[in-house]
Every structure is written in structure tokens, then in C-alpha cells.
Amino acid sequence: MTHHVTIPRIGAAEAWRKAARGYLFAGIPPEQITWGGIDSPPGLFDEPGTVPIPGTVTVPRDFIALANSVVWHADPSRFARLYGLLWRLRDNPGLMSDRGDRDLARLRQMEKNVHRCQHKMKAFVRFREVGDATAARRSFAAWFEPTHHTVEPTVQFFRRRFADMDWRILTPDVSAIFENGSVRLVEDKFDPQLPDDASEQLWITYFRNIFNPARLKVQAMQSEMPKKYWKNLPETAAIPELISTAPARARAMAAAAPTLPSRRAQRIQARVSSLASAWDGPAASLPAAIHACARCPLHLNATQAVPGEGPTNARLMIVGEQPGDQEDLQGRPFVGPAGQLFDEIAHSVGLDRREAFVTNAVKHFKFEPRGKRRLHKRASTSEISHCRWWLDAELASVKPRLIVAMGATAVEALTGSGTGILTRRGKIERTPAGQDVLITVHPAYLLRLPDADRRAEEIEKFRADLKIASDTTAIRA
């Protein structure tokens, strides 16, 4: 005997679930059941099924999600395919993760088709006003032709989205009617001829405005907005003209595009904007202002800000990267291992650190906690540029004859680019404001070099760089 099950169009998911559980519980194999919609009557030897009362059956959660989508597919074999898989799951509960299973693969494909159709419905339903535009609750209708039976599983989306108006989504299949806050599904046939209204023109204008002729890709556009939907989308009236005029409009856009200012103009602009926003308090209150700085989040974790120190009329300014662990705790620049190495080498070329103004490009210690240690982290370009405010204030107050920029961060802060230090070192460049900057490496780089010979070599080069600074500013130890 073959059981014939009729699944209604509305409420199909619930009806299929109930029948499948009943037949599964009763142990009826797939070959003894034919599944049809209300349009497919039972065959000659089919028994109109009295669905057995379901008991408890255990079904993988993954299958339930799959079935909840596939039941809305237009393929008439969907109910039988789902039941076939459900039957096989009894003996093989791991089947849902078997990527090589052809039945499952086909159902997954169907699930995808349904999801895509739901997505298209959300994107391409276009309401037109059908009631009195001045009524308290306005009334709209849309004609839509879905590929699968997706009105029912998608209706909640529209209910949430358009809760403050009455609407109907009419289709050749099931239609949804939302009135006074409640939704119902009907199978009535409707006339798809809806009146044009003002929102029609609105859609066309909107589409014209978002259409970028320079990005026109007709195939991609048609796969996102398939032609079958075009007839119900007001904006598609504009598509042929927009496509045919796209090349000319793209050329016109390119011709009208503003050109970038020259490099010189950019430099002047940078200088003007840095001058415009310069710190203008008295020099003596600068350290206190730096201590109170909260211009970027680095102040949140550091112990304190570390302002520059030294004579405010120094001829030489030494700029490092940022305070390290020791500097953060003591509140003074270059007092840790890198500072000690710097002092030693500077002294060897007759450069007295006490006569220079010593500071950093970034005033707060940036680190990553690792157990009890705080590991130095390089400041980002944005942190460097936030802190430029203070470095500029120090430069404006000290007005050094020469600045020594040690390491990429200092060089970036002072010249705008921190790359290629090893080829730029030992040379004097200019800040955007026109001050002389001698480029060199950071003493911490020397400390990190693992190879003793290489380290000795690099220390000699660093010494030579500091000698240039010493000679240029003639500060004697």
C-alpha cells in the first residue's frame, strides 16, 4: 500500500513536519509514501493517507534547519527527498556532516536556492500606494513573482520592517496581507496591475543617483538583479538609457575630477595647518600640559607622560621614539639602557647631553603586558601624528639649530616618512617647517643587534652621526 500525503500551500512546513514525524515513528519507509501538494492528486493505487499519530522521534537540529528551508522550494520532489534523508538518518546520525552524500548535497543546493529567493524578495519587493495618501494608516501593495514559495517564510521580515502601514504582497502563489498590525496569508488570485504612484518616480530617481557609470558591469548587475524581476521594478525603466550613456558619463566624470595639489602645495598646506593648530601657551607650562595630555588612548595605560628635558634655548634637540619602561616609571627621557648607550657614545664625540634638549616623538609609553614585563610596542602613525602637537610645541619653544632624529618613529614625526633610515642616515634633511634634521638610527637598535662584530660596526656609524651633530652645533663636553 502506498500512502499519499497532501501538503497544503499555506502552512507547508508545519504539515510536512507533522506527517514526516508520524510516518517515521510508524516505521513507514520512503518508498511507501507519495508526497504531493494540493495540485498533485493521489495516484491510482495511493491511499489518501491518514497520518499516523507521531510519538517522540529524535532528529538532528541541522536537519530541522535544512527542512525548514527546503519545504519552500518549488521542486515537487522536495517533500520526498526530505523524508528520504530523514529515514536514512535513523541508522546514520552522522550523515548530516557527510559532504560526499549526494542526497544531502542536492538538498543543500535547494536550501541555497530558497535562501537566495528570500534575499531577492527582500531586495526587490516594491510597494506602490493604493489607498488614500492622507489616511492615518496608509496602504500599499506590491506585485512579486518569486521563484520558490518564499512569501510565508519571509513575511515576518516585512511585518517588522513595515509595521506602521497596511500592505499586501501579491504573488501568483500565496499572497500576504498585513492590516492593522496582523498578517494573514491567502491563496486568492490577484490582478497584478497596480497603479503607478509617486514612489515609482522616487525609486527611479534613487537608482539614477546610486548608479555609477564608471563601475558599470552589466553581467554582475544582472546576476544581482536578475532580468525576471525587472518588470516589477520601477527603477529598471532607467537601466537601458543608463547603460547606453555610461561610457560617455564616465569620461565626463574623469575629466571633471579634481586634480591633486602639487607636492610643494601639499607641503605648504601641511605647514600652514600645523602652524594654525600650534600650542600657544607659555614655554614654562609645556611640561605640565604634556602631563595632562589625553589626545590619544596611550595615556590610559602609561604611568605618566614623559616631556622633553634640557635647556629651552638648546642649539641641539635629540628626538627619540617614546619612553621605555624605565622612562615611564621615572618620568624622564633616555634614562634606561638605550639612554645610557646614547650618553656614552655622545660623550665620546664631545657632545654633552646636558646642553641638548632631549625628547621623544611620542610622550607616553606604549606596551603590551607579558607576565610581569611590559614589552615595548611601536606607536602607530595616528599616535605619532597626535603627539606631533607636543613635539611641534617643544620645537617652537626651543628653536634648535639642529634636530637629531633617532629611529623610524622620530624620523616619521619630523619628516613625514620613517622609511629607508639606513640609506638616509648621516644626512641632514628638512622638517616641513624648514628646520634641519639629522637622520640616524635609534640606540635601542644597536642594543638589539645579536652579532658582536656587526654591533661594533653600527656603533661606529652612530658615533660618526653624532659627531656631525656635535660639530654642527659645537656643543662641547
Q: Which stretch binds ligand URA (CB under 6 A): 151-159, 202-210, 286-294, 336-344?
A: 336-344
Please state the closest distance from residue 341 (CB atom) to ligand URA, in A: 10
Q: Which helix (H) or strand (E) holds 70?
A: helix 61-70
Please state the closest distance from residue 471 (CB atom) to ligand URA, in A: 23
By the 8 A CB rule, do 302 and 387 touch? no
Structure-block grid coordinates of residue 391: 613635539
Q: Which stretch binds ligand URA (CB under 6 A): 131-139, 233-241, 314-322, 424-432?
A: 314-322
Task: Name which of 120 and 363 has its Cβ closer to ligand URA.
Answer: 363
Q: Using the rule CB under 6 A, is 234 a contact of ligand URA?
A: no
Pick from 304, 312, 315: nearest CA to 286: 312
Beta-strand relationship, 316-320 and 357-360: parallel
By the 8 A CB rule, do 121 and 72 touch? no
Please state the closest distance from residue 440 (CB atom) to ligand URA, in A: 12
Please state the closest distance from residue 265 (CB atom) to ligand URA, in A: 33
Please state the closest distance from residue 457 (CB atom) to ligand URA, in A: 22
Q: Using the rule CB under 6 A, is 298 a contact of ligand URA?
A: no
Find the binder of ligand URA among 95, 107, 305, 338 (CB under 6 A). 338
Q: Which stretch binds ligand URA (CB under 6 A): 89-97, 120-128, 227-235, 326-334?
A: 326-334
Find the binder of ligand URA among 22, 146, 153, 333 (CB under 6 A). 333
Q: Which stretch binds ligand URA (CB under 6 A): 95-103, 175-183, 333-341, 419-427?
A: 333-341
Q: Using the rule CB under 6 A, is 469 a contact of ligand URA?
A: no
Please state the closest distance from residue 284 (CB atom) to ligand URA, in A: 22
- Cβ-closest position to ligand URA: 320
**DSSP state, residue 31:** G
The contact mask relative to ligand URA for 350-379 (x = CB under 6 A, - = no) is ----------x-------------------
Dihedral angle of Cα 141, 145, 146, 147, to the nearest 10 degrees = 180
Q: Which helix (H) or strand (E) holds 375?
A: strand 373-376
Q: Using the rule CB under 6 A, is 412 a contact of ligand URA?
A: no
Task: Name which of 295 and 378 has its Cβ closer to ligand URA.
Answer: 378
Long-range CB pairs of 208-215, under 8 A, 24+ apart, other chains included: 208/235, 208/238, 208/242, 211/238, 211/242, 213/242, 213/245, 213/246, 213/247, 213/249, 213/250, 213/253, 214/246, 214/250, 214/253, 214/254
Q: Using the rule CB under 6 A, is 317 a contact of ligand URA?
A: no
> What letters, b where the CB count within 10 A reaches 16 and e where it falls short, cover 279-288?
beeeeeebbe
Long-range CB pairs of 241-248, under 8 A, 24+ apart, other chains included: 242/208, 242/211, 242/213, 243/216, 243/218, 245/213, 246/213, 246/214, 246/216, 247/213
Please state the closest distance from residue 124 (CB atom) to ligand URA, in A: 59
Find the binder of ligand URA among 22, 49, 336, 432 (CB under 6 A). 336
Find the binder of ligand URA among 324, 400, 418, 432 (CB under 6 A). 324
Please state the closest distance from residue 399 (CB atom) to ligand URA, in A: 22
Q: Residue type at 75?
A: D
By the 8 A CB rule, do 70 and 16 touch? no
Tell the residue number behind the cell numbers 607616553, with chain if given: 364
Find the binder of ligand URA among 30, 307, 323, 418 (CB under 6 A). 323
Find the binder of ligand URA among 322, 431, 440, 470 (CB under 6 A). 322
Task: Name which of 49 and 320 has its Cβ closer to ligand URA.
Answer: 320
Q: Using the rule CB under 6 A, is 327 a contact of ligand URA?
A: yes
Spatial distance between the Cα atoms of 317 and 92, rounded to a whole number of angstroms:
77
Find the binder of ligand URA among 320, 400, 418, 432 (CB under 6 A). 320
Q: Residue type at 263?
A: R
CA atoms within 13 A on the CB side of 429: 20
Q: Using the rule CB under 6 A, is 394 a contact of ligand URA?
A: no
425 to 454, contacts with ligand URA by CB under 6 A?
Answer: 444
Structure-block grid coordinates of residue 173: 502563489
Interaction site with ligand URA (CB under 6 A): 320-324, 327, 333-334, 336, 338-339, 360, 444
